[in-house]
Amino acid sequence: MSLSEPAADTAAFITQNLDLAEVTAIPQFRMYQAQPSSGLWRLAEQEEGGFGAPYWAYQWAGGLALARYFLDRPEAVAGKRVVDLGAGGGVVSLAAARAGAASVTAVDIDPYAVSALRLNAEANGAALTILGEDITAGPAPDADILAVGDLFYDEETARPVVAFMERCLEAGLTVLAGDPGRKFLPRARLRLLAEYDVSDVGRLSQKAGAYAFIPG
């Protein structure tokens, strides 16, 4: 299958190139994940337009930490309306749903991530609302919790995300983040809730925290 085919075919691309495998450190879930044999980065380098970097196909430390926090402390999300920003493959969304959230909206701008979210939700029996658009320029969503897993890896991404987190906090949402300490993490605005030893892209072991975003 060509990567330049319409987005409707992305589910077939994912099931053909990724393995449905147990998530490291969170064995409750099986998700479509890239393996060395998948060759996704080589495919990304060859593709012109649309595919981009396959970040959604890997488990990032910040997302894993936030997912672990939800599973270990289900009272943090139980009965709450959760929006998972930059959801990727959806491990944070799956954990929020498993922990008893009243609703979970998984948001990502990448059409491949959106397809992966649908497949992973189905594989784990999770009811997710999936939104494939950039909401960071808009108002705070009608929700109780904004979850942000590992979106501070570069300034271009982090700047609008932090501004959106600020608007959500001002609107009364609880804003939670997971991160292993990326360069553009707003450390001065975070209160550590829990720390976990998880895997990361290219690393078998990485410390990552679950944080509450607090007023400045």
Domains (ranges, CATH) in the chain?
60-213 (3.40.50.150)
Q: What is the pLDDT of residue 26?
A: 92
Distance CA 94, CA 22 (A): 13
Greatest mean pLDDT among 19-33, 52-66, 122-136: 122-136
Going 11 to 154 to 186 to 65, the CA torsion angle's sign is: positive
Taking 80 as the threshold, does the pLDDT of residue 191 lie above it?
yes
Q: What angle do CA 13, 121, 212 make, to 5 degrees?
A: 115
Q: What angle do CA 99, 101, 105 make, to 5 degrees?
A: 120
Q: What is the pLDDT of residue 6?
A: 37
List, for residues 26-57, the tens digit of each pLDDT value.
999 999 998 776 667 665 555 555 556 788 89
Which stretch of 52-56, 137-141, 175-179 has the lowest confidence by average pLDDT?
52-56
Distance CA 140, CA 161 (A): 12
Q: What is the pLDDT of residue 9?
A: 77
Q: Report residue 142 as tokens.
A: 């009608």
